[in-house]
Structure 1
Amino acid sequence: MNAYHLLIILISLSAGFSYINHRFIKMPFVIGLFFLSSILSLVILSTKWWDLVHYVEIKDTLEHIDISSFILDIMLGFLLFAGALHTSWANIKSQLRPISLFAIGGVLSSTIIIAGLFYGVCHLLGINIDLLHCLIFGALISPTDPIAVLGILTKAGVSKKIESTIVGESLFNDGVGVVVFIALLETLKLGKSEIDFGHFGMLFLQEAVGGMAFGLLLGFALHKLLKSIDDYETEVLLTVAFVMSGYAISSLLHLSGALAMVIMGLLVGNYKKEKAMSDRTQEYVTKFWELVDVVLNAILFISIAFVMVVIDFESIYILVAILSIFIVLLARIIIVYFPKLVFPRFIKFTNSEAKIIVWGGLRGGLSIALVLSIPDSENKLILIGATYACVVFSILVQGLSIGKVAEKLSKK
């Protein structure tokens, strides 16, 4: 199966599932697609008992598709730029302190908390896993995903403060989480048993600070080009070219392409937008990137649902996966409530608002892509199962209930 045939299947499934969901099920868009894709994955899994030949063929095909590279190297840049482009900097700025704290300190703290608890649980169950793999799991599962929850929060009528905090945190912590993950993964690939914190710190600064600086450079350059002409077709093409080339160049320079795309998107979408683009161009650019966002998210959530087919469902791994859900939730509670209690003047959230932020911290496709990029080993199988369980719970349980939770708590 070549790439074009695969794209045909993904787009066709996206369109079909989207229609079924909108016509009959009426779940939020990406949650409905993930739900229906998961059902299809279960049907494929069931063929193991009644059509083994075709099951083996399908599993072999899925195992040879590099979903991780597809998400990390192609889709992530587009998704982050589209999300940032439609985000109000004024709203982000108003909640910059908690966003910065959650996106940087929260990701680092969550990585350590999850790693420690996961390491302890595995060893209590007699599973021999090293601390480095546990830290990698903490880094890949800590970033939150705004895609599935944003529309629900808006409909639930939550305050702009909460919406801006969750969206801003997730935009930036995707980039921070990827940087931490890359630094830890490099240590793993070098075969070191101990982390060189000096090297880790330098790599983190290079990726994070360099990525944001490069994003500013790209954003101002694109702004100048958009301002110099008034032709919506050319201007749309320029945004696409800057996303594709900017993300690729970031990778070559060992800078965080994720953070670069977030900064570039925020700048283009907010900095003197009226002077850079006419009303007509703004309309076309906005609608184009909204469509890109919808299509890529549909493909993303269908792709990650099919990961279920290649997971090793050993009983002990299932138990670890279930326990990992509680570990991730506990870490989320700690990183939201600890600064609220220790720095009440810095983090000004009511208990109801803090609960919405905790429950609204969804995990998504980025976590799946990162775990699939880990070198093959027995530990990788454990982490894939744990990551998938957390993402499924996050999307189907938290995603479907966050609206009611937010609506109920907002009335208090």
Structure 2
Amino acid sequence: MDYFVIASILVLMAAVFGYLNVRFLKMPNTIGLMLITIIFTFAVFILSYFDDSLLNAERFIITQIDFKTVLLDVMLSFLLFAGALHTNFEQLKVQRWPVLVFATLGVLLSTFLVGLVMFYALPIVGLHVDFIYCLLFGALISPTDPIAVLGILKKAGAPKRLETKIVGESLFNDGIGVVIFLTIYKIADLGIENVSALEVLELFGLEVIGGIILGLILGWITYRLMKSINDYDIEVIITLAAVMAGTVLAQKLHISAPLAMVTAGLVVGNDTVRDNAMSETTEVYVDKFWELIDILLNTILFVLIGMEMLVLTFKMEYLLAGLIAIPLLLICRYLSLLVPIKFFEKKLNFVPKTNLIMTWGGLRGGISIALALGLTQVMERDLFLVITYVVVVFSILFQGLTVGKLIKKLEVK
């Protein structure tokens, strides 16, 4: 089965499941698609007791897809650029310091807290894992997922200044989270005695600062090219070329493509560039094109997340560990946000209960699963993949469905 056939099947499933959601369930797309795919996969499991043809076909499709590569090296750049393009730049500029602290210090603190609590919690269910591998799990589960967050917050009716904090944090902490994961992965793989502090700082600095600088350059070049012509077709293609060529260049230079695409999207999407470089027609076409890319890749992504059940190694102690991890991760996220929020809340007039809403609204998604799939068996891949999947499903289905009700219940205006 070639890649075109697999892609066609995935798009067909996304279209059918998306239709069922819009027609009958009427849930946010990310939640509805994932729920329908999980139900479909369970139905295939049950059907396999009578005829396993469909199960084997679905399992074959999912084993042919390198989910980690597809998401982190391809889809993520498009999704982050689209998300950044439609982020309110002026609001983000006002909230830049808390967003920056949430996405850096918050992720680092969360990584350490999660690693620590999992190291002591896993023996409760008879699992003993080295601290460095628990820390690696902390790194892959700490970033919140902008892909899951964006659509849900808009439907929830969150205030703009709160939405900007959550979305801004999610856009940037993806890139930061991936860099932290890769840094700890290198230490776990080579051994802490074989990795110097200078190497860690060099890797972290090159990935983060290099990604942001590349994004600024890409955004500026895109702006200059769009300003010099007035042809909406070509201008849309220029934005697409910036993402595709920029991603390839970032990978070749070994710098963070996610951070580069977020930065480029913010530059191209800000009001000054829109007013100076885009006609009204171009602005409409650029926005609609990237909205369509966003929706298409989102639907495929959450169908894939639902299908990833087929690669899990289900053991009772793994499932119990996943259930234990859910409240522990929420507590760790709450604590990691506490200091930055207390520091900034008086200066920036935070909405009431910001910490509680950001904790419950910080959804985990495909990025965590992709990173978990990149672990080796020595790093307890099967265990952490099951825990990650349980956390992601709970996060999207339960937190995603109730964050709007939480905002209304707290009467956040």
TM class by smaller structure: over 0.9
Compute the displacement of 1:368 (Å). 1.1
Compute the displacement of 1:95 (Å). 1.2
Cα gap change, 1:118 to 1:303, in 2 (>3 Å): same
Superposed, 1:80-119 pairs within 5 Å as 80-119=80-119
Cα gap change, 1:363 to 1:194, in 2 (>3 Å): farther
Could you say which residue in structure 2 is the equivalent of 1:238?
238
In 2: Cα distance, 1:57 partner to 1:13 partner: 13
Letter in 1 for 2:304: S
Could you say which residue in structure 1 is the equivalent of 2:145?
145
Superposed, 1:272-287 pairs within 5 Å as 272-287=273-288
In 1: Cα distance, 2:79 partner to 2:227 partner: 24
Compute the displacement of 1:122 (Å). 1.7
Could you report, residue by residue, the CA deviation over 1:19-74 in whole angstroms, capped at 9, with x for unpaired residues? 11111111111111111011112123334544456545543542342111111111
Note if 1:370 corresponds to 2:371: yes
Superposed, 1:69-218 pairs within 5 Å as 69-190=69-190, 192=192, 196-218=196-218
Note if 1:339 corresponds to 2:315: no
Could you say which residue in structure 2 is the equivalent of 1:14?
14
Note if 1:330 corresponds to 2:357: no
Could you say which residue in structure 2 is the equivalent of 1:396?
397
In 1: Cα distance, 2:195 partner to 2:361 partner: 32
Contact 1:69 1:373 survives alignment (8 Å): no
Letter in 2 for 1:365: G
How many residues align? The count is 412
Cα gap change, 1:21 to 1:253, in 2 (>3 Å): same
Contact 1:352 1:410 survives alignment (8 Å): no
Contact 1:153 1:406 survives alignment (8 Å): no
Could you report, residue by residue, the CA deviation over 1:177-203 in whole angstroms, capped at 9, with x for unpaired residues? 011111122233435577643322221
In 1: Cα distance, 2:13 partner to 2:137 partner: 30
Give the match's secondary structure for 2:410.
helix
Contact 2:207 2:255 survives alignment (8 Å): yes
Give the match's secondary structure for 1:185.
helix
Could you report, residue by residue, the CA deviation over 1:341-379 in whole angstroms, capped at 9, with x for unpaired residues? 466545753542322111110111111111112234470
Could you report, residue by residue, the CA deviation over 1:160-180 in whole angstroms, capped at 9, with x for unpaired residues? 110110111101101100111
In 2: Cα distance, 1:146 partner to 1:73 partner: 16
Could you report, residue by residue, the CA deviation over 1:241-296 in whole angstroms, capped at 9, with x for unpaired residues? 11011011111111110000000000011142221111111111111000000000
Give the match's secondary structure for 1:158.
coil
Unaligned runs of 5+ in 2: none
Percent identity (aligned): 43
In 1: Cα distance, 2:232 partner to 2:284 partner: 9
In 2: Cα distance, 1:378 partner to 1:312 partner: 15
Q: Structure 1 length as normaliser, TM-score? A: 0.94
Q: Which moved more, 1:189-198 or 1:264-273?
A: 189-198
Letter in 2 for 1:182: L
In 1: Cα distance, 2:93 partner to 2:34 partner: 32
Could you say which residue in structure 2 is the equivalent of 1:297?
298
Q: Which moved more, 1:191-200 or 1:385-394?
A: 191-200
Letter in 1 for 2:395: S
Unaligned runs of 5+ in 1: none
Could you say which residue in structure 2 is the equivalent of 1:68?
68
Cα gap change, 1:10 to 1:53, in 2 (>3 Å): closer
Could you report, residue by residue, the CA deviation over 1:128-183 in whole angstroms, capped at 9, with x for unpaired residues? 32222212211111111233343443344332110110111101101100111111
Could you say which residue in structure 2 is the equivalent of 1:4?
4
Contact 1:98 1:346 survives alignment (8 Å): no
In 2: Cα distance, 1:347 partner to 1:240 partner: 36
Q: Which moved more, 1:288-297 or 1:62-71?
A: 62-71
In 2: Cα distance, 1:353 partner to 1:75 partner: 30
Contact 2:98 2:344 survives alignment (8 Å): no
Note if 1:31 corresponds to 2:31: yes
Compute the displacement of 1:123 (Å). 3.0
Cα gap change, 1:344 to 1:298, in 2 (>3 Å): closer
Give the match's secondary structure for 1:410.
coil
In 1: Cα distance, 2:238 partner to 2:317 partner: 51
Contact 1:100 1:169 survives alignment (8 Å): yes
Give the match's secondary structure for 2:350.
coil
Contact 1:340 1:348 survives alignment (8 Å): no
